Amino acid sequence: MTVATVPTEAAPTAERYLTINNIEVIYDHVILVLKGVSLDVPKGKIVALLGANGAGKTTTLKAISNLLRAERGDVTKGSVEFKNNRVDQLSPNELVRRGVIQVMEGRHCFAHLTLEENLLTGAYTRSISRSGLKEALEKVYHYFPRLKTRRGSQAGYTSGGEQQMCAIGRALMAKPEMILLDEPSMGLAPQIVEEIFGIVKDLNQKENVSFLLAEQNTLMALRYADFGYILENGRVVMEGDAENLRTNEDVKEFYLGLSSSGRKSFKDVKHYRRRKRWLS
């Protein structure tokens, strides 16, 4: 298999941070979902993981955070390293303590807990004092002022955008170095998506949190990310700087519905061409 590499100015090899080496994931002992995925997230960057439904984005994230095992998935080959240590056999609890946390697709807030209680559960792995906890809360409220105004409401009764903020805020309470963010734009109005991505960028720059971001919303993700990988059928088919991916003709045609001849309907995209190019 050949990976089409878009020429990059700065390859993300400067410092080894989160490295995934050729992992293969099998569900239920029979369904091969990831067929050898390798990727790198450098420290302090936002890396986007793009692709269509079923490409393997969520599976890749769950393979890193080790939530797979609860779903009868298994990493059968390859390795995941964080700061040069193998982390593929660690429990999610242990991984959170080391600073890698996942924000799951579909928000998954605790519906019957208030927003503030949701945030507090995020600090479960940290042994900090009451004042430290309060400080951590204030920090989250600083980035998500909307959570503060609604902190007493049960999470189940808040809007989708607030729930997404709550989920990210909850992860922040664990003081992570790296957040695996799965599909934050799901089911949200474009304006809210914009707001959330803005905050993600902010967190990245001010708190120095690295992000691995799985997204369907390719254009949006590439606008905020530093680097991108495109998954198809459980393989990385393309990688490169966000800037370059955004202007790449194939990406434009397949994921953004644009081509050299102007805007194009997905109906007209010639699928045989992508198969011939990428999966031969």
In the bound state with another protein, the residue whose beta carbon lies nearer, of 179 and 200, is 179
Using CB under 8 A as the binding rule, whether residue 136 contacts another protein is answered as no
Rounded Cα distance between 82 and 87, Å, is: 6
User: Does residue 238 contact residue 251 with C-beta atoms inside 8 Å?
Assistant: yes
In the bound state with another protein, the residue whose beta carbon lies nearer, of 48 and 171, is 171
Under DSSP, the state recorded for 269 is S
As measured in angstroms, the least distance from the Cβ of 213 to another protein is: 16
Q: Which of 76, 86, 89, 124 binds another protein (CB under 8 A)?
A: 124
Please give the full DSSP string across 136-160, using - where no structure is assigned: HHHHHHHH-HHHHHTTTSBGGGS-H
In the bound state with another protein, the residue whose beta carbon lies nearer, of 65 and 248, is 65
Using CB under 8 A as the binding rule, whether residue 101 contacts another protein is answered as yes
Q: Which of 63, 140, 174, 221 binds another protein (CB under 8 A)?
A: 174
Q: Which of 5, 89, 93, 149 binds another protein (CB under 8 A)?
A: 93
As measured in angstroms, the least distance from the Cβ of 93 to another protein is: 4
Q: How many CB atoms lie within 10 A of CB 51?
A: 24
**Which residues from 175-234 bind another protein, rule CB under 8 A?**
none
Q: Are strands 4-5 and 235-241 parallel, antiparallel or unpaired?
A: parallel
Contacting range for another protein; rule: CB under 8 A; set: 66-74, 197-205, 245-253, 267-275: 66-74
What tokens appear for 85 in the block? 């240590």
Helix, strand, coil content of the chain in percent (nearest 5): 40, 25, 35
> C-alpha dihedral over 52, 249, 42, 205, to 10 degrees?
-90
As measured in angstroms, the least distance from the Cβ of 95 to another protein is: 7
Using CB under 8 A as the binding rule, whether residue 164 contacts another protein is answered as no
Using CB under 8 A as the binding rule, whether residue 109 contacts another protein is answered as yes
Q: Which of 110, 195, 264, 269 binds another protein (CB under 8 A)?
A: 110
Using CB under 8 A as the binding rule, whether residue 102 contacts another protein is answered as yes
Q: List b or e across 79-115, with b for residues whose CB sees 16 or more CB atoms inside 10 angstroms.
A: ebbbbeeebbebebeebbebbbbbbbbebebeeebbb
DSSP bridge partners of 37: 23
Q: Do you know the residue count of the chain?
A: 280
List residues binding another protein (CB under 8 A). Answer: 65, 67, 70-71, 91-93, 95-97, 101-104, 108-113, 117-118, 120-125, 154, 156-157, 160, 170-171, 174
